[in-house]
């Protein structure tokens, strides 16, 4: 089965990101294809490389990045939500006159069209968070 996932909550304020991560990992282990993971609303905070959780806590951003590398996942951050929350890649930094970037390896910024495509191309679109 081809599955896409939408994550609407940040990594440490809600269970949604952990649940989405565990769902994606389990789906991959069962042989399903993950077409795309789309981070929307506060979910875009899963894609910042500047978070530094305590050493005895899980690093949600790193988990997503590692899973992306291991399985060649398409982790997409909504551009409008990213701009509101200060998540910046090279292209957005240049377009908006910012002097730094903070996007985690394995993530990319794009528009809502990527979410629509994920829904059309997948057998299921599973949403985590409000």
Active site residues: 78
Q: Show the tokens assigned to 45.
A: 């905070």
Angstrom distances, CA of residue 107 to CA of 14, 36, 62, 77, 112:
20, 11, 11, 7, 15
As given in the structure block, the two tokens for residue 38 are 């789309």
What is the spatial distance between Cα 124 and Cα 120, in angstroms, rounded to a whole number? 9
DSSP state of 99: S
Tokens matching residue 49? 């490389």
Span between the terminal Cα atoms of the chain, in Å: 24
**Cα separation of 127 and 39, whole Å?**
10
């Amino acid at each position: 089965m081809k599955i896409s996932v939408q994550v609407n909550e940040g990594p440490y304020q809600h269970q949604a990101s952990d649940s989405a991560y565990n769902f994606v990992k389990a789906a991959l282990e069962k042989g399903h294809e993950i077409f795309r993971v789309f981070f929307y609303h506060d979910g875009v905070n899963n894609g910042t490389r500047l978070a530094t959780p305590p050493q005895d806590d899980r690093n949600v951003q790193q988990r997503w990045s590692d899973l992306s590398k291991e399985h060649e996942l398409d982790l997409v951050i909504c551009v409008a939500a990213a701009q509101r929350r200060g998540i910046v890649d090279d292209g957005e930094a240049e377009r908006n006159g910012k002097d730094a970037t903070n996007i985690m390896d394995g993530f990319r910024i794009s528009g809502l069209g990527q979410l629509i495509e994920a829904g059309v191309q997948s057998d299921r679109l599973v949403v985590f968070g409000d």
